[in-house]
Each structure stands twice: as C-alpha cells, then as structure tokens.
Amino acid sequence: MPAVRIAITRSVSPHIAECELTFRDRTPIDYARAVAHHRAYEQALEELGCTIVHAGELPQAPDGVFVEDAAIVLDEIAVITRPGAESRRSETNSIAQVLRQYRPVHFIREPGRIDGGDVLRIDRTLYAGRSQRTDDDGIAQLRAMVTPHGYDVVAVPFRGCLHLKSAATYVGVLLFNPSFVEARLFGDVEAVAVSASEPDAGNALRIGETILMSSSWPGTRRLLESGGLHVATVDADELEKAESGVTCCSLIFEA
Ligand code: GLY
C-alpha cells in the first residue's frame, strides 16, 4: 500500500494569548485570526498531500496548538517529549495516544527535558539544540532511544531564539540565521542564510518538493526561489505572536 503522509495538528486554544513567551514581548493575539491562520495552514498541508489527524482538543493549554514540541517522530519510533516549560507538560499524553496508532512510543522521563522544536533531523543525524527547554539529560535519553535505530544525536549550541528550529531548519538546504546558530555545526550541507531583515525566517517546512513558509518573510522567500526552490506561503503572523513558526503546528510523517 502506498504511504500516507500524516500531519497531526491540534486546534488553537482560546487561551493562546496566555502562551509561554521567552524571547518575544507579549502583544495582544486575536483568537479568531489565529484560528483562521491555523485553518489556512491545515488547508495548505492538505493541498501538499497531507492527511490531517486532529489530536484531542486541549482548550486549557495555551500552547497546545504547537504539537511539534510534544514528540519526535522517526520512521521507526516516536519519542514523546517531556517539554521544558512546565505549563506544557499536559500536552504530551494526547499526542502519545495518536502516535500509538502509527509507531512504537517511547517516553522521555523526569528529570530530562526536551522540546521537539529543538530537534532538527538531517538524514540519520538528529541535531538537538541545548536551550532553556532542552537539557543534557533529555538529549542523552533521546540518544539512548534512537541509537539502536541507526541515528546519531549531536548536541548543538545556539542563542537568541526559543528553539533550535527557530534558528534553522532543513528544507533540502539548511535555512538558518547566522546570528542564532553556526551553519558549520550541521556538517557539509548547503546553507542559505535568511534575509538580514527577517531574523525569524529560519523556520520552514519541506513537504515533497515544496517549501512551506510564512508570508511574513518575503525577502527570504526570494532568496530560496532564486536558488531554484519551490516555495508556498501561508499567513501565520497571528500565531507568530505566540513565538511560533510553521514547523511548530504539525507533526508530519509517513504511515
Ligand atoms: N509559545 C511557544 C512556547 O513557548 O513554547
């Protein structure tokens, strides 16, 4: 049977304005607009061939829409994280319930902490950003779980932003902000630096041959397109006020 591309998402909490913020100032979030941006995002994923699977609603979890942080999904297993922010720990059980249908599920245990947003995969290497959310214990537990499946885990430093994937994502090339992270840490991959006026543009999502990114970053979009890459955009600025990027709102894998 041909593989199905699943995208797990979760609806936006009416309490999203109470979300965690680390590097961003709090500004009012228009809930209806955030919901509209999230719907458009799900629609874009569907147009790119994903089947949306909704995780259980968590209206009381302000950051629950950012499902990426609750798990790291590989071809062989799914690792359920122990999020670094205590307010986000209630988000993982409902994600585990969904993922159990598709993968053997492993759990990061106390006292380790790791957010999925800090784990960037390139081929068989998982780059794990050391951050306020992800510590050495969490990274060591992740390593013990994935090494038997042939993955290396490399801890990388970064600065100035919430998650490693706020600084860099891999979309066939490494899209990165040089003020946040050094490209050389990711080995010998082609790298494209974000437009200097768009520091948060390093977060993009590759689905098939298309790179999905926020319409907030037109300069970086042009840089990618000038390199022959195919880019689609979604409006995401209302969700960006909650310190998110396009990878944060889904867990995408083949089943
Ligand atoms: N508001 C996203 C996070 O802090 O996890």
* DSSP-derived secondary structure for 100-125: TTTS-EEE--TT----GGGEEEETTE
Q: Is the pLDDT of residue 175 over 90?
A: yes
**d(CA 138, ligand 1 centre) in Å:** 18
Q: Is the pLDDT of residue 166 over 90?
A: yes
Q: How confident is the model at residue 2 (pLDDT cuts 50, 70, 90)?
A: confident
- CB-CB contact of 5 with 143 (8 Å): no
Q: Does the beta carbon of 63 lie inside 6 Å of ligand 1? A: yes
Q: Does the beta carbon of 186 lie inside 6 Å of ligand 1? A: no
pLDDT at position 34, please?
98
Q: Mean pLDDT, to the nearest integer, of 212-234? A: 98
Q: How confident is the model at residue 15 (pLDDT cuts 50, 70, 90)?
A: very high
Tally the domains of the chain.
Answer: 1
Among protein residues, the one with the nearest Cα to ligand 1's atom 3 is 20
Cross-strand bridge partners of residue 32: none
Q: Is the pLDDT of residue 225 over 90?
A: yes
Q: Mean pLDDT, to the nearest integer, of 135-158? A: 98
Best of 16, 21, 24, 200 to mutate for ligand 1, by most ligand atoms within 8 A of CB? 21
- CB-CB contact of 150 with 124 (8 Å): yes
Q: Mean pLDDT, to the nearest integer, of 34-43? A: 98
Return the DSSP state at 195: P
Q: Does the beta carbon of 243 lie inside 6 Å of ligand 1? A: yes
CATH number, position 227: 3.75.10.10
**d(CA 188, ligand 1 centre) in Å:** 31
**d(CA 19, ligand 1 centre) in Å:** 6
pTM of the model: 0.98
Q: Is the pLDDT of residue 183 over 90?
A: yes
Residue given tokens 């946040």 in the structure block? 180
Q: How many CB atoms lie within 10 A of CB 5?
A: 16
Domain that holds residue 161: 5-254
Cross-strand bridge partners of residue 152: 125
**d(CA 105, ligand 1 centre) in Å:** 24
Percent of the chain with pLDDT over 90: 99
Count the residues in the chain: 255
Best of 15, 63, 82 to mutate for ligand 1, by most ligand atoms within 8 A of CB? 63
163 an active-site residue? Answer: yes
- CB-CB contact of 249 with 50 (8 Å): no
Q: Mean pLDDT, to the nearest integer, of 157-167? A: 98
Q: 61-81 pLDDT, tens per residue?
A: 999 999 999 999 999 999 999
- Mean pLDDT over all residues of the chain? 98
User: Is the model more confident about 229 or about 1?
Assistant: 229
- Atom from ligand 1 closest to the CA of residue 69: 5
Q: Is the pLDDT of residue 47 over 90?
A: yes
Catalytic option among 19, 50, 161, 248 = 248
The contacts found for 222-226 with CB under 8 angstroms, 24 or more apart, are 222/195, 223/192, 223/193, 223/194, 223/195, 224/171, 224/173, 224/175, 224/192
Distance CA 196, CA 240 (A): 18
Q: Mean pLDDT, to the nearest integer, of 120-129? A: 98
- CB-CB contact of 102 with 254 (8 Å): no
Strand ranges inside the chain, DSSP E: 5-9, 50-54, 71-73, 78-80, 105-107, 119-122, 125-130, 152-157, 168-170, 174-176, 191-193, 205-207, 210-214, 230-234, 251-254
248 an active-site residue? Answer: yes
pLDDT at position 204, please?
98
Q: Is the pLDDT of residue 1 over 90?
A: no
Q: Does the beta carbon of 242 lie inside 6 Å of ligand 1? A: yes
Q: Mean pLDDT, to the nearest integer, of 131-148? A: 98
